[in-house]
Amino acid sequence: MRAYPASRRHPQFSKDSLSAFLQEAGIAYRWEGKALGGMRPSYAEHMQTEEFQAAAAALAAGRDRICIMCAEGDPAHCHRSFIADWLVARGHPVTHLLDPGRQREHPARLL
């Protein structure tokens, strides 16, 4: 959930480029960076807003598998870990895709 889906260094990850690429592969793309994106003074505080709660609830309500992307490679150093905590606390399994062939289940934590 990149708040600003643009990159001069990696233009293939811009909102328009990524959306087109995924559409060709038959994968739906929905940008939720305004509600779920990082780059905030306090993401934990943002999680208390109606904007976050509504977007996260919509994310959790779907039956499809989803992928949350960010420029930060390690989810432990990213706002994705907060979103993962929120999802796991509500019974949704979360798997972090790391390097090719590596993945890690998100641990359950008390919120």
Confidence class for position 42, pLDDT limits 50, 70, 90: very high
Read off the pLDDT of each residue in 64-74 and give the average, rounded to a whole number.
83
Q: What is the mean pLDDT of the chain?
A: 87
Burial of 67 by CB count in 10 Å (0-12 exposed, 13-18 middle, 19+ buried)?
exposed
Read off the pLDDT of each residue in 6-23 and give the average, rounded to a whole number.
83
Contacts of 52 (CB under 8 A, 6+ apart): 35, 36, 46
Q: Using one digit for the tens of pLDDT, what is the confidence trace for 82-103?
A: 999 999 999 999 999 988 899 9
- pLDDT at residue 5, as a whole number: 65
Name the residue among 62, 71, 61 with its Cα closest to residue 38: 71
pLDDT at 110 over 70: no
Report the alpha-carbon distance of residue 54 to residue 50 in Å, rounded. Answer: 6
